Amino acid sequence: MGAWRWALGLALGVGLCLGAPGPAAVAAAVAPKPPAPVSPYSYQQVMIPMRDGARLQTVIMAPADQTVPLPILLRRTPYGVPDKPPLKTPSDLEALAKDGYIFVVQNLRGRFKSEGSFLLTSAVDLKDRRAVNEATDAWDTIDWLVKHVPNTNGRVGIYGVSYDGMTAAQTLLLPHPALKAVSEQASPADQWMNDDDHRYGAFRLSPTFEYGVMEQAKKTANTHIRFETYDAYQWYLELGPLSNINAKYLHGGIPHWNNAVDHPDYDAYWKREAWVDQLRSAPVPTLNVAGFWDQEDPWGPWRIFANAGQGAAANFMVAGPWCHGCWRQPKGDTLAYQSLGGHETSREFRETIEAPFFRAYLHGDEAAGAKPPFDWRVSTFQTGANQWRTYAEWPPKAAMATSLYLHLDGSLSFDPPSADEVASAGASYRQYVSDPANPVPYRQRPISPVYPGGDWRTWESADQRFVDHRPDVLTFVSAPLTQDLTVTGALAAQLFASTSGTDSDFIVKLIDVYPEDGETAAWDVGTGPAPGQYAQSMNGYQLPIAMEIRRGRYNQSYEHPAPLVPNQPSAWDIPLRDHDHVFLKGHRLMVQIQSSWFPLYDRNPQTFVASIYKAAASDFVPATQRIYAAPGLASRIVLPVVK
């Protein structure tokens, strides 16, 4: 031992003299290696049998230090299960993990190692006892888990976002006795009326095409399209008629795409997909979650909440300033480039709403559900005021439908248009030309692909100044507000409009225009702003609050489309969904109206054809669009104003 120490000392001395590694480096070299990090969870992968014999790939992760029976939290997904346990609890599960759960993640049938076929369908046929679907697969999974997973308390909760949220929501149609809590988050409910694939029949082109490829091109992977051009807008424009997608790229190989283009109208196929129509109550305590700026599924949770019934003892609704699934991000403390008053809304939701919800129904004496965890029915984060609000019912009784009128001089006010305005303008309308060869982009170009993500997540809160100079976008703006204006509930647009064509789309955007406060206006001559400084300013920012589209061929019937009468004004009712926002004193309200939103939506040829998906290049023609603002033809936005 003494000789060893002498040799080490000599080595250190020589090292110091020759400039070799010093004492700390040598000590590090001889120190034992730190132990490999250990996951706080055990890990088991199993294949759970379904009633038709198919087995589904399932991962079970229990706390490594578990000593007492715990409930199970289940998530069912088409996107892949973890291939190993996490080295630490993901941030979006920390609040839940503190209460203790056995986390289970399962691949849907036909995805990755799960057996069977992945049909990418939301249909559930409760009348067919032999059918298998997401509701029956969830029932069979829960039944297996409570019988085979050791050390559970026999209670199961299910949650998930988007497609995972739909698989959670559909358990309400066929709940297992052990299922005690459901949290559907951004679940689609009716894919023709709203959410991912359509909005009232208007086809969401880029999301539907790219998602179908992502989930059905390869069983064992999430596949993303490699576009030949950097700007997806240009790629879709050069594509031409939609029939070219199969002719040039898919060759009939993506069933989801084929089903969409084979069923242009609200027929029996889409009505089967509208699983929510079978929901009449909340048989299990349910927490519905939506984002006011959700670019994929903002509508489904509100529909599920409404169908399940506000009279149900444990049917709750939460909505906040979030993009699709962004309540699972670490903080959620900003919207666009502004702070939300110091609130970390995503973390606050998980800690003060989601975790208490599951705790109440899956843990302890309250698990029987005798006492709901909340004394409210709806909780929202009200933007503008930047405060959490709670409501005993939705919409709140205090919300009064109030008309905001469009005027011929491009203004907005709460006063209806007058005959004198028409006489002064010499017309009862404002007009623009919509050209399918030059459609209005839905976000600033170049446009990246929808998937795997990028700026797709945040485009609904993007500054709309990038289009307000276009001649095919009409703009109406109010005077600065003299006091705060609170809107809480469902918004809607009621336009009177005409087209010179026989089919048309109208898109309405309600925008909160921020004042110019001069904070970034003073620059030294010749130097310009610091890099990125303009991009982070809310000066004059045009923040979208509500945006939606309506397709003219379906104005009279969703099932039986009909051509429009050229140049004849007609009523266009355009729902703008539920919101909770305060337009602050000094801000302006703005409405933008346009007839294309590309490539988020396919181009309307503006010539009526039996199916837009089969339109020829010659069917796409420019059209003159008119928005009326006159007595008897008073276009307006209906706001649920709370005074």
Q: Range with the lowest mean pLDDT among 63-77, 342-356, 368-382, 492-506?
A: 368-382
Domain with 500, as residue range(s), is 399-515+535-642
Three-state DSSP string of 171-237:
HHHCCCCCEEEEEEECCCCCCCCCCCCEECCEEEHHHHHHHHHHHHCCCCCCCCCCCCCCCHHHHHH
Q: What is the full DSSP assignment across 330-364?
A: S---EETTEE-TT--HHHHHIIIIIHHHHHHHHSS
CA distance 428 to 421: 8
The domain that holds 64 is classified in CATH as 3.40.50.1820
pLDDT of 522 above 60: no
| pLDDT (0 to 100) of residue 146 | 98
Instruction: Say which amino acid occupies 529.
Output: P
In a domain, 33, yes or no: no
CA dihedral 120, 206, 195, 491 (to 10 degrees): 180
* Domain match, 547 and 564 both: yes
In a domain, 553, yes or no: yes
* Domain match, 385 and 242 both: no
In this prediction, residues 440-468 reach a mean pLDDT of: 94
CB 543 within 8 A of CB 584: no
Long-range pairs for 420-424: beta carbons < 8 A, 24 or more residues apart? 421/629, 421/630, 422/630, 422/631
In a domain, 155, yes or no: yes
Q: Could you report the per-residue pLDDT of 265-287, keeping only the tens digit for each?
A: 999 999 999 999 999 999 999 99
DSSP-based three-state secondary structure for 508 = strand
Q: Could you report the per-residue pLDDT of 98-157, keeping only the tens digit for each?
A: 999 999 999 999 999 999 999 999 999 998 989 999 999 999 999 999 999 999 999 999
* Domain match, 366 and 463 both: no
DSSP state of 246: I
In this prediction, residues 174-189 reach a mean pLDDT of: 98
DSSP-based three-state secondary structure for 135 = helix
The CA–CA distances, whole Å, from 545 to 201, 379, 432, 508 equal: 22, 18, 24, 11
Helix axis angle, 255-262 to 205-216, nearest 10° = 140
pLDDT of 315 above 60: yes
Q: What is the full DSSP assignment across 577-588?
A: EEEEEEE-TT-E
Using the 3D structure, point to which of 271, 306, 326 is the last residue of a domain: 271
In a domain, 28, yes or no: no
Q: Order across the sheet with 588-594: list the strands.
A: 474-477, 588-594, 505-513, 542-551
In a domain, 153, yes or no: yes
Q: Is the dihedral of CA 52, 55, 59, 63 positive or negative?
A: positive
| pLDDT (0 to 100) of residue 517 | 79
| % of the chain residues with pLDDT over 70 | 91
* Domain match, 228 and 298 both: no
In a domain, 36, yes or no: no
* Domain match, 494 and 621 both: yes
In a domain, 61, yes or no: yes
pLDDT of 371 above 80: no
Q: E strand or H helix at 42, and its extent?
A: none
pLDDT of 579 above 80: yes
pLDDT of 619 above 90: yes
In a domain, 31, yes or no: no
pLDDT band at 10 (very low <50, low <70, confident <90, very high): very low
CA distance 593 to 625: 10
* Domain match, 239 and 170 both: no
| Token pair listed for 534 | 């303009």
In this prediction, residues 29-49 reach a mean pLDDT of: 89
Q: Could you report the per-residue pLDDT of 397-433, keeping only the tens digit for each?
A: 999 999 999 999 999 999 999 999 999 999 999 999 9
Greater model confidence, 247 or 453:
247
| pLDDT (0 to 100) of residue 31 | 73
| pLDDT (0 to 100) of residue 211 | 97
Phi then psi for residue 5, to 5 deg, are -65, -40
Give Cβ neighbours of residue 379 (< 8 Å, ≥ 6 apart).
Answer: 316, 317, 318, 319, 353, 388, 389, 390, 391
* Domain match, 348 and 485 both: no
Question: Total domain count for the chain?
Answer: 3
Using the 3D structure, point to which of 391, 426, 448 is the last residue of a domain: 391
Q: Which residue has the tokens 């933007």?
A: 383
DSSP-based three-state secondary structure for 3 = helix
CA distance 233 to 245: 15
The CA–CA distances, whole Å, from 530 to 164, 338, 515, 516, 524 equal: 43, 18, 21, 19, 11
| Token pair listed for 489 | 């509930």
* Domain match, 262 and 387 both: no
Rg of the chain in Å (alpha carbons) = 28
Using the 3D structure, point to which of 391, 408, 435 is the last residue of a domain: 391
* Domain match, 210 and 186 both: no
pLDDT of 456 above 80: yes
CB 512 within 8 A of CB 581: yes
The domain that holds 540 is classified in CATH as 2.60.120.260
CA distance 124 to 421: 54
What are the residues facing 582 on neighbouring strands?
Answer: 486
| pLDDT (0 to 100) of residue 313 | 74
* Domain match, 407 and 361 both: no
| Token pair listed for 74 | 């289940």
| pLDDT (0 to 100) of residue 147 | 98
* Domain match, 612 and 581 both: yes
* Domain match, 262 and 282 both: no
pLDDT band at 372 (very low <50, low <70, confident <90, very high): confident
The domain that holds 250 is classified in CATH as 1.10.3020.10
